[in-house]
Amino acid sequence: MPANSRACSDLVDADLIKITRLFATPIASVIHPEHELLNEQLRSIILERSEHDLGTLHSNDGGWQSQDDFATWAGEPGAKLVAFAQGLANQLSAISSPEHGLIEAHLQWRYSAWANINRKGHSNSLHAHPGAFWSGVYWVDDGGREHNPELGGELEFIDPRGITPALLNPALRMRIAGCLAAGYASTVTPSSGTLLMFPSWLMHAVRRYEGNRPRISVAFNFAI
């Protein structure tokens, strides 16, 4: 590095730099206002379902995953959760109109939903959800992960910009808000009662869970 690199940087007034952050990837979260009662009901329904339903295998490495017919067997608690998730999808969406620009969306989404139970040693491999616009997860029971980081089970998102920044120099970072993790994965800690929603094309995985309590969630896909 040139000896005068520090002097060169001093020539630029940081307060005058304009940063435009293009291609943002939204990860939205909201806590269900009645999550304590709802989670108690859903936990019982999902665990009972898993006892007599073999489930299916998609991204799950171990654990139990239902078919995507959650709404048909989860009763009133399931209907409440689906309606809440549809509401979030509408809040995050807009319709582009040639005459009026962006207008608020009031859409009847096509959706699928399924339940997941991960126990000690289980995880979900890297995947996306083709054919959908929004995908989401609601944590019925985080398994205690929120208060014990050693339990694992984090939801991991892979930087859609790829790993090139990390390959060039693992120690180098962009000193720009929102860009520090460029080239690396980012994680979200599960929290019971929280609904998380993200673009369906965003690659994600669930890290290995080491808790003794079942980690229970409901996942969604929304399409038009």
What would the pLDDT profile of 9-24 be if each residue is shown by its tens digit?
688 998 999 999 888 8
pLDDT beyond 80 at 152: yes
CA triple 196-33-153, angle to 5 deg: 35
pLDDT at 174: 84
pLDDT beyond 90 at 36: yes
pLDDT band at 177, cuts 50/70/90?
confident
pLDDT beyond 90 at 29: yes
Average pLDDT over residues 132-141: 98
Cβ within 8 Å of residue 24, ≥6 positions away: 178
Q: What is the DSSP letter of 176?
A: S
Domain 25-93+102-223 grouped into CATH 3.90.700.10: no
Average pLDDT over residues 159-177: 82
Tokens at 205, concatenated? 């995985």
In 3-state terms, the chain is what percent helix, strand and coil (to 5)?
25, 30, 45
Of 179 and 148, the structure prediction assigns the larger pLDDT to 148
Tokens at 33, concatenated? 């206002």
Sheet holding 185-188: strands in order across? 60-61, 123-127, 204-206, 155-158, 185-188
CA distance 213 to 52: 20
CA distance 180 to 194: 25
- pTM of this structure: 0.90
CA distance 194 to 191: 6
pLDDT at 7: 66
Q: What is the DSSP letter of 6?
A: H
Q: pLDDT for 70-128, tens place per residue? A: 999 999 999 999 999 999 999 999 998 888 888 887 888 999 999 999 999 999 999 99
Tokens at 151, concatenated? 């339990």
In DSSP notation, 18-87 reads -----S----EEEE-TTHHHHHHHHHHHHHHHHHH---B-SSEESSEE--SBHHHHSHHHHHHHHHHHHH
- Amino acid identity of residue 156, one-letter, is E
Of 4 and 74, the structure prediction assigns the larger pLDDT to 74
- Alpha-carbon distances, residue 223 vs 17, 27, 108, 113 (angstroms): 40, 17, 9, 12
Question: Where along the chain do its domains lie?
Answer: 25-93+102-223
Which helix or strand (DSSP H or E) is residue 139 part of? Answer: strand 134-141
Sheet holding 110-118: strands in order across? 28-31, 194-199, 134-141, 215-223, 110-118, 64-65
